[in-house]
Structure 1
Amino acid sequence: MAADLYADYVIIGAGSAGCVLANRLTENGKHRVVLLEAGGDDRPLHEPRQFMSNMMIHTPIGFGKTLNDPKVNWLYETEVDEGSGNRSHKWPKGKVLGGSSSINGLLYVRGQSADYDGWAQMGARGWSWDDVLPYFRKSQNQERGENEFHGAGGPLNVSDFPEHHPVSAALVEACTQAGIPYKEDLNDGNQEGVSFFQMTAKNGRRQSTAVAYLHPAMGRENLLVETHAMTTRILFEGKKAVGVEYRQGSETRRVMVRREVIVSAGAVESPKLLEISGVGQGALLQELGVHVVHESPMVGENLQDHFMIGCQAPLKEDAHSINHLSRGVKLLGQIAKYGVTRKGLLSYAVAHGCAFVKSRDTLDFPDIQIHVMAASMDLEYLNQFQGLRLDKEPGLASNPCQLRPESRGSIHAHSRDGMVTPKIVPNYLSDPIDRQSVVDQLKIIRNIWEQPALKPYLKAPGDPFGSTDEEMIGYAKLAGGTLYHAVGTVAMGDERFPLDPEMRVRGVEGLRVIDASVFPKIPSGNTNAPTIMVAEKGSDMILQAAKEAIAA
């Protein structure tokens, strides 16, 4: 096939995984890599048409603006979802260098050791906690210093929350009064407890994978980064992936590869791209008019996401929350503070503290996560526009989610045109276990709010959740939504799954998927750190395969 570009590897998607891969695969200078990103550059001066959007990317609190900014965000929309009040949900995903690591809430959470041991038990050999911990450490520059669980000197800077608001501290104390133990480190594999979040930030600036991994590599002669380049098809010769086709402006171009095609387009786009290229459910591909290269029934299935319930309560005084800092003269003061000290409101992540809780004492591991903050959102605006806007009145939030939901959704192509977004069916709360978890979560929040630490601040919240199980489930259906953690749609594991444990697509050659879609089961917490770990481990797998091919 004729080509516009040739490389050893082509990486589709410069997101949380793709930027890591681009850095690691070009590090030794031996391999030529082309990185294709559908969005633009994240650096303000390199992309004048989205200058302000990019300024928001690098300012931590700017996630509230980028969350619904079409210049840097795909702004997907799900199908109407029966389990969550017959609503369609907005799903933000990064469309810019760094992907969702450029627009997320900056929270650094790994999950529990049992999550990864569970992956290994599902057939993903080599992915137990002991196997993945070295890659979490390798990726990390932990500002607290190096120890057996944390690395220092890695590309990704991980820092403590810049300052603790009195009400955020009171929320953490209320959790301890409710029986949740204080735990300094929530990322050592044993999560149970409450603490303040750590952030992917450095000196008050966001540490996306673009900043941490890609920018330092962009001067390498063996790396070519193409932005505004939407991959529309993987090219096969027989069963071997030999390149990709992509659209850039009005042109259709091709990259041909000598070694491998690596799909890192994320849990939404990766299954779609496989399907429109001929790998997926046979009946669906025939319906789309796509030639079947390999039938793989689980492509696009196994979708999992964390369903977070918005739980907010009013506070007595403006100073009790950060809401009033987001407007008028107070905001100008915060902008000045950030400019001088890199602290204050503009340096904040999406949540301040975090608790991992067991709903029942008989459980071995926490099954609920709670994000706490001295802030409250306009929930109607959030659900309608997927934008963050702080309430005019002071309030706090204690937003829970079930860590390991049983409900499963799907993401599938519904057009062979690679420019058309896929059909997203989340199936939130479709499993009765998940609906019972909703009740457990709201009872825990109510208990936390009743603790003495919050008495000086909290107005009487009334009973917003209802008293019966049915009322609480009804509340969650209307007040809940995505926590932006879609995973699992091209999972690795045993023969049931599309990928083998080295993330190679079964049934074809020269094709891997490396991003959050490969998780066989969702980790217990936020998903950015695990995605970076997966890419670090995947890079070593690819480089080892290249060595073995040369030796052969």
Structure 2
Amino acid sequence: MATFDYIIIGAGSAGCVLAERLSASGRHKILILEAGGRGRSPWIALPLGYGKTFFDPSVNWKYESESEAALGGRKSYWPRGKGVGGSGAINALVYARGLPRDFDDWEAAGATGWNWNTVRETYDQMETRIGPSGARTGDGPMTVQDVSDQIHPATRHFFDAAQELGLPRSSDINGEACEGAAAYHINTSGGRRMHSARAYLAPALKRPNVTLMTGALVKRIEFDGKRAVSVRLQHRGRTLSLRAGREIILAAGAVSSPCVLQRSGVGPAQDLQAHGITPLLDAPHVGGNLQDHLGINYYFRATEPTLNTLLRPLHGKLRAALQYVLTRRGPLSLSVNQCGGYFRSSPNMSAPDQQLYFNPVTYTTTPNGKRTVVQPDPFPGFILGFQPARPTSRGRIDIRAADPSAPPRICPNSLATEEDQAQVIAGGMLCQRLAQTSALTRLIEGPMAPDLRCLTPEQILADFRERCGTVFHPTGTCRMGPDARHSVVSPRLKVHGVAGLRVVDASVFPNLTSGNTNAPTMMLAHRAADLILEDA
């Protein structure tokens, strides 16, 4: 049986960070296991390639939730990264640290040592920030670019609308003044996606003490008593057991990490027995506490050119491609989410409660039902959308069978609380006020139904139930906390009740951060490596 010091399950946003930092000293032998492929699709490197990877089964697990009565019986599409880089390889690239209160809330929920002052230091260590002029701040491996000089001219109407309503303006949602209308910063470098596989794993793989195994589907973690000692997996038609001399680190993400634990006998005992799995540890919180952002887009035809005008016709695509090849700039080098920000839906709110998006493009999927590509509409248009930042509903993710190839059972339990429903109405009315400003009125030729400007609060909620969807930020399914009564891992990310096993990914978030979750996931892994090495 092959032996390594650390076995990392999952080469996603967290796993790639861990592989680099745990291997840097050269003292430890690292194995990183990835169920997907090497992640070499050119559409991953291209920032606007998001539209190609969104439905691509070669790089996307394409999960689906259970139907939800609160959403009219609908199921939701849950894209998840399938390959090296994980979901950070196929996301829309918005780099959002989260609000300071998000992390102070973590500590208040029992995640001792994960307050804002601590995690801010970690962010500073991991980032190199690049301004529009090319000026660089910091020397971390993750480059974060301010592309405010490149966003589409139509975005000016969004900033004017916010100013008309007296809403704040922010030059950096990751800075001290993070509230207000902002151009989103993105994790790119040289016009290419800078995800954790490029920033962290690529240099780590140059070291002789790091091994990457792709196409490795983990069946379960094996224990000697209550100590995790090896990983059993399927690889190229063979079943293997690989031993970890120090620790096994589960970094498969908020969807897959609880499923690996459950297949390993750590989870709700009664449910495990129903799948023929002998429980090692009755841990009912494994898979629970699921949190996610639900969002909605309002579509409008525009009175002036938008990205649709450029990217829909073939000659426009060719022009954008040529600009990208020659300069590594232009729309192909940017996120589809160009601006937005954190906002208070009412001045009475103590902190921002909504995240908004303004995209100078509208798009539909292919009409043949195969949903293989996101295509801009053949007329100028834009999107105004929002997501309530801190939902209070809690769902679950569980295994559907003991077979690791079976998709998980995802039950989001959306809009289960009156508070969440009220936040939907508040966010919709904030967008409505923006759409009614003279600034956006100048840009709106007409709505693509429904017309947000005319909806009552009750209609806003009803429309949200009918059309909303996940914003792809699942967290919390192996939450951290002080003890097993309320959590799955300790603040040092060790699984309660067993030894030699940690979870390091978005599943351990006690609470969902207010914005996009890729940056805090990488931050968590960066700091977790320090904890692991301290304990070694």
Q: Shorter chain as normaliser: what TM range?
A: over 0.9
**Whole-angstrom distance in 2 between the partners of 1:538 and 1:309:** 34
Deviations 1:237-288 (A, max 9, x none): 1100001011112111111011100000000000000001010111111111
Give the structure 2 partner of residue 213 of structure 1.
200
Give the structure 1 partner of residue 124 of structure 2.
137
**Whole-angstrom distance in 1 between the partners of 2:23 and 2:96:** 27
**Whole-angstrom distance in 2 between the partners of 1:464 and 1:242:** 58
Compute the RMSD of aligned alpha carbons: 1.8
Secondary structure at 1:170's aligned position in 2?
A: helix
Contact 2:308 2:378 in 1 (8 A): no
Contact 1:379 1:479 in 2 (8 A): no
2:174 pairs, out of 187, 197, 201, with: 187
User: Superposed, which structure 2 residues align to 1:231-310 within 5 Å?
Assistant: 231-310=218-297
Name the count of aligned residue pairs: 528
Is residue 2:429 matched to residue 1:413? no
1:20 pairs, out of 17, 20, 36, with: 17
Unaligned runs of 5+ residues in structure 1 are: 44-53, 547-552
1:378 pairs, out of 355, 364, 375, with: 364
1:535 pairs, out of 510, 517, 525, with: 525
> Cα distance, 1:190 vs. partner?
5.1
Secondary structure at 1:459's aligned position in 2?
A: strand
Amino acid at match of 1:471: Q
Amino acid at match of 1:539: A
Deviations 1:368-391 (A, max 9, x none): 000111111227979984853222
Amino acid at match of 1:40: G
Amino acid at match of 2:533: L
**Whole-angstrom distance in 1 between the partners of 2:383 and 2:370:** 19
2:378 pairs, out of 365, 370, 392, with: 392
Secondary structure at 1:70's aligned position in 2?
A: coil
**1:381 and 1:242, CA in 2 relative to 1: closer, same or farther beyond 3 A?**
farther
**Whole-angstrom distance in 1 between the partners of 2:414 and 2:535:** 39
Unaligned runs of 5+ residues in structure 2 are: none
Is residue 2:505 matched to residue 1:515? yes
Secondary structure at 2:87's aligned position in 1?
A: helix
Give the structure 1 partner of residue 470 of structure 2.
482
Is residue 2:108 matched to residue 1:121? yes
Amino acid at match of 1:538: A
Is residue 2:401 matched to residue 1:441? no
**Whole-angstrom distance in 2 between the partners of 1:456 and 1:341:** 33
**Whole-angstrom distance in 1 between the partners of 2:269 and 2:383:** 46
Deviations 1:311-331 (A, max 9, x none): 1111124x2443542331111
Percent identity for Structure 1 against Structure 2: 37
Contact 1:66 1:72 in 2 (8 A): yes
**Whole-angstrom distance in 1 between the partners of 2:314 and 2:372:** 23
Q: TM-score, normalised by structure 2?
A: 0.95
Amino acid at match of 2:97: R
Contact 1:57 1:63 in 2 (8 A): yes
Amino acid at match of 1:531: T
Moved more, 179-188 or 209-218: 179-188
**1:250 and 1:379, CA in 2 relative to 1: closer, same or farther beyond 3 A?**
closer
**Whole-angstrom distance in 2 between the partners of 1:379 and 1:228:** 29
Secondary structure at 1:398's aligned position in 2?
A: strand
Is residue 2:45 matched to residue 1:58? yes
Give the structure 1 partner of residue 348 of structure 2.
362
**Whole-angstrom distance in 1 between the partners of 2:373 and 2:506:** 23
